[in-house]
Structure 1
Amino acid sequence: MTAVAIAEAGREARRTALILAASQAIIGSAAPIAISVGGLAGHYLLGSDKSLATAPITGFNVGVALGALPAAAIIRRLGQRDGFMTGTIVTALGGLIATLALFQASFWLFAFGLLVIGIGGAFVQQFRFAAADNAPSEFKARAISFVLAGGIVTAILGPQIVIFTRELFAPVMFAGSFASILVLAAVGAAILSLLRIPPKATGKAEITDSDARPLSEIVTRPRFVAALFCAVGSYALMSFVMTGAPLAMVGCGLSTDDATLGISWHVMAMFAPSFFTGSLIYRFGAERIVATGLVLLVGCAVVALSGLALWQFWTALILLGLGWNFGFIGATAMVADSYRPSEKGKVQGFHDFVLFGSVAFASLMSGAVYNAWGWEMLNWIIFPVTVLCFVALGVLKMTSARPTSA
């Protein structure tokens, strides 16, 4: 490949990553809408027994997990651009169902609508892999970071949409917020239409490839196992602690505003480093960045267990967000290096199915663990999980000298 061709490939990879980041910022805003008001809307729809109020949020998380494998298969079949466009339709359908459910005061239809939004979110989760797949090796990690940096906009846009639309169709509360998801999906689809995916990167070219290994062979290799352990550990711990943090802050006598601002700092810490995490991975290696993320997660637990002052909650949440960023982006870069082009659909789908299934379980267990054993236990659990991740990285290091075919 000539120098001109290499430069052109780099420019095209940056263009693809920026388009995916912009679309992630718009379509991805459906997630904070669903999570921030899903429980409130569930509370609004239920009668005197409010014990299932957060079930719609669980439905959203389950939808992301259930949609992982079908989303990967559809993208592989249709190609990345058309597959992602299909995802915007699914997201819009979920927003429509949730909106109609609120007008009909149907709790279970609303929960189903959030599950469908979650399935649409499974397509959005594939954006980071698409950015890496269409980038030169030296730009893969930065491409992933670019896409996840769109989460900064998402963290701001989603809550603002809720604030301005929750009473749009009063007295039917929150219907406007979920109706806005249809607009987000349309704008996101328009942005995705600008994608120019090279033919060699589309799913259609992969179907006839004969060099693909069985999934069982790929997912048992040390590099993939370590990447999956660290991705699940980073993401599930983040969801587990973040979900319980507002309950703990309010339970300790802090205000709801204190809890909300703490989560805002946490979300910013999750996504703001994405502008340079990719460069750090390129310079120091994905494994070292993942290990740094795990250390930051341990730091979160240490600070949280040291006391119950406001600064301790906020500092712990910031460290939690930073740990997620380094751990998850680094692990994603490791996954992207563990398969051949002909294998990416099934490997990515399997990875996200396990990942978001674990995240859904973690979010479910957070409230139960907090109610049974308190805030301290949520943080003590960080230690054994991070130890398992470090063990996986250690095994990978010991086997890294062996030749691989990936």
Structure 2
Amino acid sequence: MNASTRHATHRVVLILALAQATAMTCNSIMIVTSALTGQLLAPNGGIATLPLALQFIATMATTFPASFLMKKWGRRKGFMLGAWIGILGGLVMAAAAYAANFWLFALGNTIFGVSAAFTLFYRFAAAEASDDAFRPKAISLVMAGGIIAAIFGPELAKLGQDFLTPHMFAGGFVFITLLSVLVVLLLLPLRLPPVAGDTPAALSETPRPLWEIAAQPLAVSAIAAAMLGYGVMSFVMTATPLAMAFCGFDLDSGIAFVIQWHVLAMFAPSFVTGHIIKRLGEFRVMSIGVACYAICIAIGLYGIDIRHFWGALVLLGLGWNFLYVAGTSQLTKCYRPSERAKVQAFNDCATFSGVALCSFVAGTVEQVFGWDWVLLGAIVPVALIALALAYGYHQHYRVVRV
């Protein structure tokens, strides 16, 4: 990579990181306020997390259309469309909070989920703009944009709680609308280079069936890390504000603080995750993520003081980062240029299918059975991730040795 190409790549990654940071700030506001707003507006507490679950269902359902739309129109146009949909979602949620209408709020969450599907592809755009040596760092740097979300998202959620008094939380959704406008402005100068290796011959190569690609040992472990790892994180994270509220905490006395540190732990390691992957390899980094999840569960079961929620959620964020970034890096090794769109869409569709289910179930499990059962319920998917990693590592390196 010459100096001119390197500069262009770094500029693209910077723009994508800033856009990701702004979009993730919207997500951070949603993490803090959606379940609490749902609890305030819902006809019964059992469906408090339904709007958030619908958000993830919409994200899951939109991954395939978004991926193929960007294959036809280009990444930039797809990202711009996603940001405009985010503006609409923010407006609908603000109107719902203002009117105290639960089902309108659920609709707004759904629209916002469509927008979030386009945001998922920022990391792939960064990977495609980079050569093999810079790719893990590019993915990490774009994901590191979430640090801004960790700092500003919960603070904006707290500010928005009473911003339009007496309409609780409506101000936070106004902030989501304004942040989505900022994403549009950030994307205006984005110019993505041609993807390395996208020669006419490579693009016209007959793609393999999706099942054949997904059955590769590397792909099995990468997809399991993304789907189950994200699902566990969403399951525990979604239940946390409800559990803390039951324990007597509110946004000012602890909930925003814990979520802020959780989101910070999700993205702050991204500055070094790429370097760690280059040094240790994807399998070892994903294994560290599984260990973080196991310790998170143990701390959460140990007590319900603020320090227990804080420690558990920090480790939950760290584990997610290692699993998600390393899994994404590994997945890029599993497909050809002609297979890119469908594999990326399948990975994110599978991931957000799990996230949607976990988000919806989390509220019911916490409300009916309690916080301990949320944590105990996370043990099974964490064990499955560990098994998938062991299978992928054994099968892949057995083939390499042969």
Q: TM-score by structure 1 length?
A: 0.89
CA contact (8 A) 2:217 2:393 kept: no
Tell me how far apart the structure 1 counterparts of residues 213 and 86 of structure 2 sit (CA, whole Å).
31
Matched with 2:153 is: 158
Residues 1:192 and 2:180 are matched in the alignment = no
Matched with 2:19 is: 23
- Paired residue for 1:319, among 301, 315, 326? 315
- Paired residue for 2:391, among 370, 395, 399? 395
Matched with 2:370 is: 374
User: What is the RMSD of the two structures over their aligned residues, measured on CA atoms?
Assistant: 2.8
1:105 to partner: Cα distance:
4.6
1:138 to partner: Cα distance:
1.2
Tell me how far apart the structure 2 counterparts of residues 172 and 206 of structure 1 sit (CA, whole Å).
58
Pairs within 5 Å for 1:8-47: 8-45=4-41
Matched with 1:272 is: 268
The residue type equivalent to 2:183 in the other structure is G
Matched with 1:93 is: 88
Tell me how far apart the structure 2 counterparts of residues 316 and 20 of structure 1 sit (CA, whole Å).
30
Pairs within 5 Å for 1:4-403: 5-45=1-41, 49=44, 51-200=46-195, 209-252=204-247, 257-401=253-397
Shifted more, 157-166 versus 123-132: the winner is 157-166
Q: Residues 289 and 50 from structure 1, CA distance in 2 versus in 1: closer, same or farther, beyond 3 angstroms?
A: closer
Q: Residues 335 and 200 from structure 1, CA distance in 2 versus in 1: closer, same or farther, beyond 3 angstroms?
A: closer
Tell me how far apart the structure 1 counterparts of residues 160 and 294 of structure 2 sit (CA, whole Å).
39
Tell me how far apart the structure 1 counterparts of residues 108 and 196 of structure 2 sit (CA, whole Å).
32
Residues 345-402 of structure 1: CA deviation (Å, up to 9, x unaligned)? 1111111111011011112222333344433332233433222222222222222246
Tell me how far apart the structure 2 counterparts of residues 337 and 191 of structure 1 sit (CA, whole Å).
30
Tell me how far apart the structure 2 counterparts of residues 196 and 355 of structure 1 sit (CA, whole Å).
28
1:185 to partner: Cα distance:
2.0
Aligned length: 399
Tell me how far apart the structure 1 counterparts of residues 46 and 395 of structure 2 sit (CA, whole Å).
49
1:211 to partner: Cα distance:
3.6
The residue type equivalent to 1:314 in the other structure is W
Tell me how far apart the structure 2 counterparts of residues 164 and 260 of structure 1 sit (CA, whole Å).
11
Tell me how far apart the structure 2 counterparts of residues 305 and 117 of structure 1 sit (CA, whole Å).
33
Structure 1 stretches lacking a partner, 5+ long: none
CA contact (8 A) 2:54 2:109 kept: yes
Tell me how far apart the structure 2 counterparts of residues 282 and 138 of structure 1 sit (CA, whole Å).
9
CA contact (8 A) 2:163 2:170 kept: yes
Shifted more, 143-152 versus 260-269: the winner is 260-269
The residue type equivalent to 2:337 in the other structure is P
Counting aligned pairs with the same residue, the percent is 37
Shifted more, 155-164 versus 337-346: the winner is 155-164
Shifted more, 64-73 versus 286-295: the winner is 64-73
The residue type equivalent to 2:91 in the other structure is L
Residues 233-269 of structure 1: CA deviation (Å, up to 9, x unaligned)? 2211111222233444454566662343222222221
1:202 to partner: Cα distance:
11
The residue type equivalent to 1:362 in the other structure is C
Tell me how far apart the structure 2 counterparts of residues 57 and 251 of structure 1 sit (CA, whole Å).
19
Residues 146-200 of structure 1: CA deviation (Å, up to 9, x unaligned)? 1111111112223333344455555544444323333222221221122221234
Runs of 4+ that moved beyond 6 A: 201-207
Tell me how far apart the structure 1 counterparts of residues 41 and 370 of structure 2 sit (CA, whole Å).
29
CA contact (8 A) 1:79 1:202 kept: no
Structure 2 stretches lacking a partner, 5+ long: none
Shifted more, 73-82 versus 302-311: the winner is 302-311
Q: Residues 32 and 315 from structure 1, CA distance in 2 versus in 1: closer, same or farther, beyond 3 angstroms?
A: closer
1:317 to partner: Cα distance:
1.9
1:78 to partner: Cα distance:
0.7
Tell me how far apart the structure 2 counterparts of residues 366 and 262 of structure 1 sit (CA, whole Å).
18
Tell me how far apart the structure 1 counterparts of residues 398 and 232 of structure 2 sit (CA, whole Å).
31
The residue type equivalent to 2:390 in the other structure is G
Shifted more, 371-380 versus 13-22: the winner is 371-380
The residue type equivalent to 2:298 in the other structure is V
Tell me how far apart the structure 1 counterparts of residues 128 and 359 of structure 2 sit (CA, whole Å).
30
